[in-house]
Amino acid sequence: MRRFDYYRAISVDEAIALLNEHGEGGMLLSGGTDLLVQIKEAGLAPAYVVGLSGIDELRELRSNGDGLHIGAGVLMHEVASDGTVQAQYSALCDGAGVVGSRQTRNMATVGGNVCNAAPSADTGPPLSVLDATVHVAGGGGTREVAIDDFWTGPGRTVLDSEVVTHITVPAPPANAGSFYERHTPRQIMDIAAVGTAVYVELDGDGNCSQARIALGAVAPTVVRAPAAEAALSGGPITAARAAEAGRAAAGEATPISDQRGSAEFRTHLVEVMTTRSILHAAERAQG
Amino acid sequence: MAKQIFTLNVNGRDHEVYTEPNQSLLEVVRDELRLTGAKEGCGTGDCGACTVLVDGRIVTSCLVLAPDAAGREITTIEGLADGEKLHPMQQAFIDHGSVQCGFCIPGMILSSVALLEENPAPTRDEIRRGIAGNLCRCTGYRKIVEAIESVAGS
């Protein structure tokens, strides 16, 4: 492996101090399943690396009536196997449960997936539709960033010599449901060609009172699909209305062509998968 | 960066290793400890040939920095047998003719053992998904799946 200086932090404060002490060009290492691959294969040459896996405060996963707290170092398999996440934050369970292989899910962290900022990240669209907030710590203190404002481009975030400490998700009401699915050429150990996440709330008459729809791998970042959300809100979730929202979502996607699919194919997938994800999310909302 | 000394617990024994801190766990296990069961196939976590257990869970050791494994319990294929007595999964792979070239087998067996720890009675589909992070270019997987089924059912 390419040589680099490696410092293991044992607290968030120490990690921030290391970033400030060593200056430009440092990178943070969490589970290693993205960063070390980029160093080995993609020519990434960080000036130095700060390891976060020894920081206990980043490993906390807990929930209460207000919502879910996911430490940045919580592993994918821990999220996917958590009973509360499965029941109340289902789209996130769907996403965390399909990342890579079993080995990957024993190493990769939610914070790493968010900070790697791939538009295809499997926890990206779920966290977007679940209205997550990213909690950031740096030399100047702490701040909160809405997940949709966190990513600025492929591999780019708002972080500036800062560390993501945790992600919070507000508790959904009982009449809510969420769903994420992705299409990959291979079933396992592949990256989404398209990912679609849907969150819906139903009112007492079964009408959709709130809809959030996010798309992965069809834009420079994970993106919301506001026209699709508007098409779905305010009426019953029928196959016809879901299909109308799916068509709207396809109009909001701006995919590129690559080895996982042409732009035309991806646009078609967005329509089909958004429609299907809406119906699955509605089923979950009905319990 | 200067070499560092740290302690790795591998197969129940503490080993002091003296190495550059950006070495992978796989490099240290193979080159320093001379435990050559874990293999480097792709080096990027795709093939699973370097699979070892860390605190009982499978990881691709080519993507773990060795210092990050200090303080954890690491098990390689060399630590699976009880003295001369093979682990039931190792014996099952022999009995079912599951091994051809053998390159993937150390990782495949560790993934299989960990799978049954997590799910003692997997379906055939769950077995196939459970070893999906371990590529085998020889066998077509069928006899590997049969070996795992035989241990799960016994």
What is the Cβ-side half-sphere exposure of residue A285, based on CA atoms within 13 angstroms? 29
CATH 1.10.150.120 domain range(s) in chain B: 88-152
Task: Please state which CATH class domain B88-152 belongs to.
Answer: mainly alpha
Residue of chain A whose alpha carbon sits nearest to that of B72: A54
Query: Which of A6, A40, A187 lies at the smallest CB-CB distance from B65?
Result: A6
A271 Cα distance to chain centroid: 20
Residue pLDDT, tens place only, A199-241: 999 999 999 999 999 999 999 999 999 999 999 999 999 999 9
Query: What's residue B1's pLDDT?
Result: 76
Model confidence band, residue B154 (pLDDT cutoffs 50, 70, 90): confident
List pLDDT tens digits, range B34-61. Answer: 999 999 999 999 999 999 999 999 999 9
B4-78 CATH, one of 3.10.20.30, 3.50.50.60, 3.30.70.1170, 1.10.530.10:
3.10.20.30
How much is the mean pLDDT over chain B? 96
| C-alpha span between B46 and A101 (Å, rounded) | 8
- Tell me whether residues A102 and B130 touch, CB distance under 8 A: yes
- A118-156 pLDDT, tens digit per residue, is 999 999 999 999 999 999 999 999 999 999 999 999 999
- Which residue in chain A has the smallest CA separation from B67? A8
**B20 vs A contacts (CB less than 8 Å):** 3
Q: Which CATH number fits domain A176-285: 3.40.50.300, 3.30.360.10, 3.30.1490.20, 3.30.390.50?
A: 3.30.390.50
Contact status, residue B154 vs residue B106, Cβ threshold 8 Å: no
Cβ atoms of A217 and A128 closer than 8 Å: no
Report pLDDT for B21.
Answer: 87
Of A1, A2, A101, nearest to B132 by CB-CB distance is A101
Q: Which amino acid is at A16?
A: I
Pairing type for strands A48-51 and A5-8 reads parallel
**Structural tokens at position B135:** 């590529």
| Fold exhibited by the domain A58-170 | 3.30.465
Chain A contact for B68, CB < 8 A?
A: yes
* A91: nearest Cα among A220, A195, A8: A195
